[in-house]
């Protein structure tokens, strides 16, 4: 099964985030390092926060080849590996760095002999699993499972490594499909986790981090703080957690800190578009939402103020908080249609001709990702809006007097409401 764009981007960006988050504490013993939760400089290699190492570079080499050719070509991927090793191609520094011994020898063999199968059976390092996401996505999108072996064998031609790659690909399949996996880590506790560079222990430690937490951020923090080969454990965990939770679950502050984010994102999207994965345009677009400000005017000659219709959110983000009715635009509908549909679904209120308000597009306004809201104002008479009822993902729908609003409102809805009040006739 081909992963969706969100799950595929989640695995790709999860790899990059895990590599960058873990690299500053790699080579340290477990619990003999600062507890890392943010992107920080790596003293070992002298890199600023958000610089990836060999894990990210090799994954980018695979993605670039597919994006440029429109197909997986093992020989071309091998040539990219040589360019990385000799010229710093796809490195976050002008040169390749943090290159494992087995990978160095294999890439040198590609350069010297053109061999596309390199490495000994006893060479069971994690070089193949740390960069797996692009070859996993290509294998599934092309219906060619042999891509997994072909890409792995470029540097780690080992039965044990192939088995580990196959196990990880199967776990990625399950997580991307259902958010769950039948696989269970060989490690039951944190103390059990082996933080070495062995392919088997890297995968099992990463799987432990995912199964012992309940969101992307906690999983990656648990993985990298095992120390040892922290960047690769983080890269593998990021792939698993990204496939499970999706790109939209990766903390924006981490993504914003990664070097050349826009260029890397454009490459990933070209890679996915070349494989025919829908929704992964080379030029990313925001999600569009419509929010509805339904205001019931004050009765003439009375003391009662005007009121606004709010819903109590039944799910995350901002579960339990009050917000304006609204939601995401669906294919085939206009923003006005979206506003009418969402208002009807969440409150039971039919609105006729809503008036547009200034859009809201500030980065970070919605923790789920890049979301632009196009709000609408609907003014009702004092006796309008009777018989409202909560529906869809709204836990409650109520009219609130404008001078007695619940606080704080979710998202930037207080600012949207202020815009609406200023626009009132």
Q: How many domains does one find in the chain?
A: 2
- What CATH number corresponds to the domain at position 267? 1.10.4080.10
CA atoms within a 13 Å half-sphere pointing along the CA-CB vector of 319: 3
Which domain range does residue 369 map to?
Answer: 287-423
Give a yes or no: residue 199 inside a domain.
yes
In this predicted structure, what is the pLDDT of residue 58? 98
d(CA 56, CA 143): 24
The whole-angstrom separation of Cα 346 and Cα 8 is 31
- In-domain check, residue 185: yes
Distance, in Å, from the CA atom of 103 to the CA atom of 96, rounded to the nearest integer, reads 12
Residue pair 323/313 in contact by the 8 Å Cβ criterion: yes
Q: Based on the domain organization, do 163 and 295 belong to the same domain? A: no
Supply the pTM of this predicted model: 0.69
Number of residues assigned to the chain: 425
Is residue 195 located within the same domain as residue 62? yes
What is the β-pairing status of strands 287-296 and 326-328? antiparallel
Between CA 167 and CA 173, with CA 169 as vertex, the angle to 5 degrees is 115
Q: Is residue 281 in some structural domain?
A: no
Return d(Cα 33, Cα 72) in angstroms, integer.
40
The pLDDT, as a whole number, for residue 283 is: 65
Q: Are residues 233 and 314 in the same domain?
A: no
Same domain? 344 vs 208? no
Residue 299 and residue 234 in one domain:
no
What does the pLDDT read at residue 1? 66
Is there a single domain that holds both residue 88 and residue 217?
A: yes
- pLDDT at 282 (0 to 100): 62
Whether 109 and 198 map to the same domain: the answer is yes
Q: What local confidence, expressed as pLDDT, does residue 166 receive? A: 98
Q: Domain check: are 163 and 299 in the same one?
A: no
pLDDT-flagged residues of the chain (< 50): none
- 3 state SS of 295: strand
As a whole number of angstroms, the distance between CA 145 and CA 166 comes to 9
In three-state secondary structure terms, 298 is coil
Radius of gyration of the chain (CA): 25
| Nearest 10 degrees: Cα torsion 402, 403, 407, 412 | 40
Residues 123 and 167 in one domain: yes
> Contact 204/168 with Cβ under 8 angstroms?
no
């Amino acid at each position: 099964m081909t992963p969706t764009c969100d799950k595929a981007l989640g695995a790709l960006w999860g790899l990059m985030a895990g590599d960058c988050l873990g690299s500053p504490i790699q080579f340290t013993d477990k619990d003999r390092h600062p507890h890392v939760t943010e992107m920080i400089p790596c003293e070992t290699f002298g890199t600023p926060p958000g610089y990836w190492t060999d894990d990210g570079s090799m994954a980018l080499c695979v993605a670039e080849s597919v994006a440029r050719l429109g197909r997986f070509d093992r020989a071309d991927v091998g040539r990219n590996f040589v360019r990385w090793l000799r010229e710093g191609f796809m490195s976050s520094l002008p040169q390749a760095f943090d290159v494992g011994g087995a990978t160095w020898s294999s890439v040198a063999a590609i350069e010297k002999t053109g061999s596309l199968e390199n490495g000994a059976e006893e060479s069971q390092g994690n070089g193949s699993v740390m960069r797996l996401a692009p070859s996993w996505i290509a294998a599934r999108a092309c219906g060619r499972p042999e891509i997994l072996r072909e890409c792995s064998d470029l540097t780690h031609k080992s039965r044990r490594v192939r088995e580990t790659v196959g196990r990880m690909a199967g776990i990625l399949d399950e997580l991307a499909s259902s958010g769950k996996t039948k696989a269970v880590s060989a490690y039951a506790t944190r103390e059990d986790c082996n933080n070495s560079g062995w392919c088997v222990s890297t995968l099992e430690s990463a799987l432990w981090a995912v199964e012992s937490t309940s969101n992307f951020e906690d999983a990656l923090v648990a993985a990298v703080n095992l120390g040892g080969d922290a960047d690769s454990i983080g890269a593998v965990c990021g792939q698993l957690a990204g496939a499970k939770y999706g790109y939209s679950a990766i903390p924006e502050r981490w993504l914003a800190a990664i070097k050349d984010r826009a260029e890397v994102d454009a490459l990933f999207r070209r890679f996915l578009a070349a494989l025919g994965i829908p929704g992964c345009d080379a030029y990313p677009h925001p999600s569009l939402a419509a929010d509805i400000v339904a205001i019931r005017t004050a009765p003439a000659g009375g003391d009662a103020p005007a009121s606004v219709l709010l819903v109590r959110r039944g799910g995350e983000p901002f579960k339990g908080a009050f917000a304006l009715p609204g939601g995401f635009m669906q294919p085939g509908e206009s923003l006005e249609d979206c506003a009418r549909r969402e208002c009807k679904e969440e409150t039971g209120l039919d609105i006729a001709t809503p008036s547009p308000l200034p859009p809201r597009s500030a980065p970070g306004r919605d923790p789920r990702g890049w979301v632009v809201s196009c709000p609408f104002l609907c003014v009702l008479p004092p006796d309008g809006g009777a018989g409202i009822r909560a529906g869809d993902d709204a836990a409650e729908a109520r009219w609130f007097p404008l001078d007695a609003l619940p606080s704080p409102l979710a998202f930037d809805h207080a600012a949207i409401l202020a815009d609406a009040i200023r626009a009132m006739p």
